[in-house]
Structure 1
Amino acid sequence: MPESFKMTVKNRFSSGLESGNLVVNSDPVHQAWCAIEQQRQINPNAEPSLYNEIQPENPIVIAFGTPPGSLQGQEGLVSSKDFAHFEFLCNKSNPVFCINEAAIKLFQSHYSDLLVLKNKQSCMDIDNLVGKMKRHETKLLIQKMKNWDSDNKFNDVKIHMAYLEWYKKESKDKGYGYYDMYRKKEKPADVKVNEYKKKLMNYWEDSVTEIEDRPKLEEGAYLRLRWLYGGTTYRRMVEPLHIADYYKDGGENYQTEDGKRPKHFTLLEKLHQEKQEQEEKKKEQEKKKQETQKQEEKPESGPSKSKRKNVGSILNDDSCFWARVEEALILLKNGGLTTDDKGKLKEFEDYVWIALKNYAVSPEIFLKNSSFMKWWNEYKGIVDSSSSLSHFMKNGGPKEYEEGKFT
């Protein structure tokens, strides 16, 4: 058999390992096979017709009877793009599949009869089938998450993250902060960090791709939340290191140019934001239920007391914070600021101020050798002295912030 034909056949029929478990363990598949066998036994020479095998049990299985030789000349395959009604069989990994041409013609010739039969089914029948599929998929999801928790690779991930935590502390003691210490790459420890960064990125790229193909089932919400928490911590710790490499190599516009920011960072951030939005909606609903509560009894707005208390150990909420700093430095480095440049610098200043108000950045940004302080020392001669950030920086704001006393 020619190699090109082998490849074509493989691409047409392979639906991926993720479909395998569902197929081999699926009751409807066994029921369908029994229906086909029984249909053949009833009248093997009958013209193509419908046969209702299982009723009133769920699901109702339809078998098509075909006489010998009726499929000759119809052995070709039809792409799913060329016919409707089977979109639910597609997923992200397998957006297109092929079905035997004869089977499609039989289906189309009896489509009106199938619609009538479908309308006879009660909602209970459909819910029963959907429920079975959800339970099966949930079992797979929960098992996957349990494996994720005990996986040897994940144990390595925890070790790598612990090393980065140590590196972060060591860098702070040297007055740099781990972003700038890594950017300089002057010591063997920096090379080791680069090795761990690559391993962590490989792990999470695969993990994000896999979880993205999974359905969002309520039954697996708790385990999915734990996974997202781990992914968010990873993103906030590791993406700054990736950004440091990017700008050290002369890169620009990390966030705005397509393809510059790795996709899995973007997806992890999107999932985190969606979770935050859900929590905000939940809080709003709870507030509406407390209509009789007095204004002074309502919870304080802004950052939590816990966040202020532990500000010394936090990571930047925005994992692209340092990319924004680098872009602001590039504007100042170019010299001869245009009106547009000044507008962008003012936007960055406002962004930093909001982040400070929300305790959303690490106090490491104020270390004397940090890139942020390099930016500030150049920008303070340009900024309006009456601005909030200017007042904060010149009147002991960084120290108050580090102590959690800034409000």
Structure 2
Amino acid sequence: MDIDSASTPLFSCGLDLAGLAVSSDLLYYSWGAISELRTNPSRHVGSSSLSVEYREYRVRNYRIIAFIVSPVTEKYLLEGSDLVPSSDIPDFNFLCSKSNPEFSINRAAKALFDSVCGELSSLKYQVKEGAKSTPYIVTGHSLGGSIASLFMLWLLNALEPTTTRRPLCITFGAPLLGDTRFQQAIYQYSTWNSCFLHTAHRDVPFPSIFPAMDYRPFGTFLFLSGSGKACFEAPGSISDLLMRMKPEREIESYKAGIIAQLTSIGLLQNEDEARNSWVDKKIVKPEKAAITQKREMFDPARKLNDVKVNMAQLEWYKKMNENGGYAYYDSYKIKRLMRDHRVVEFKRILTDYWEKLVEEVEKKPQKEDVPLRKEWLYGGTNFRRMVEPLDIADYYKVKGRRDYWNGGRLNCYKKLEKWLKKAKKPDTSLNTRKQNIRSSMTEDSCFWAQVEEAMIACEAYNNGNEGNFERLVEFETYVFGLIE
């Protein structure tokens, strides 16, 4: 045994490192860049990307490159936490070695990085030259932090070995990026591992989103809470700490609060009595159930923002299909991709909300012709025009079905359309030559039902049933009415 090393005392410098990180203003500058990009988006959006935005800032003596991902895309992509092998990630083959020939990273992070990879190539070259004289910080929030980490690795591989000003990557609430082998690949380069600082807040335990899978941390983790801060570097310790940040611990805190209240009014005398099952069974569980029920009571105003998020999910889905050359109606009807199946849940949430809202409105005394406030009326109109085509697709997917209007149309669609017509004032501008044809078609949320009925009539006519010719003429008149 080495006597000198054995006699050298060990000290944990995590508090000192954490204090240094916070007091250096680097976190402040980095978060400021992210906040600016969130507040003023579209300053630099990857032309090939629907979701990733990045921008370079100059702050004091630093250059900061910030990455963000739209919240809607983020929520959608994080529903899947599967890994993609290094064989599908040729840009990161430099991390492979004889002792560690393969690794895996999160599929969502890889897809987002690929969407801007071409444009980031030129940025990588600029940073490579600029880093010779200027310190760089690469930062990002949530999945934007994952992209920042991938860009940082890409950049570190491109830098000259003699570069003394290595960039620093600072992430905020970024999910774990890769598996054990990915972690080991980075640890092969000790100087690279020290270039990553990941922050995790006690009240926002986002990085622990994939605890059950083979995800492992790398770099240094800065843990923050309202009461303090601390730094850790050992992957095993970090994994355990992330698991301990899970929200289930709030249950014990809630129970402790109940016990404190019972003790204060003299209904509990000691800790042994507090541990008695009657406290859980008769007090804690019913109180928790009452609070949960109160939160879940139908409140249109409180839930409207949640509805907007799900509508944005559908907007994103529609845009993805259009960029791929498909109508979202056709894609949903045949369900060729995983995202077509995921949309079913967004559709269900939205339909449940508007059905309950219309039902509640109809129960109340009708003082006006239009019982909905403008905000809900136009929100309902957007819902009807976006979601009803999907209901139509489901209806006509069953062979032999006809007459969607009387056989399948929900009451909420009928009422929302009726209320909109009553609220709408005649607007001659809608009939001008500048009217957008696509808008005309989608303004009628039953457009696809008209198309389906025309296709059925056309097939019947081709099979010799001439009685359907009149229906085809009606459809032709309907379409010309949209584009006149």
Query: Normalising to structure 2: TM-score of the pair?
Result: 0.35
Query: Normalising to structure 1: TM-score of the pair?
Result: 0.42
Q: Which has the higher strand share?
A: 2
Q: Which has the higher helix share?
A: 1
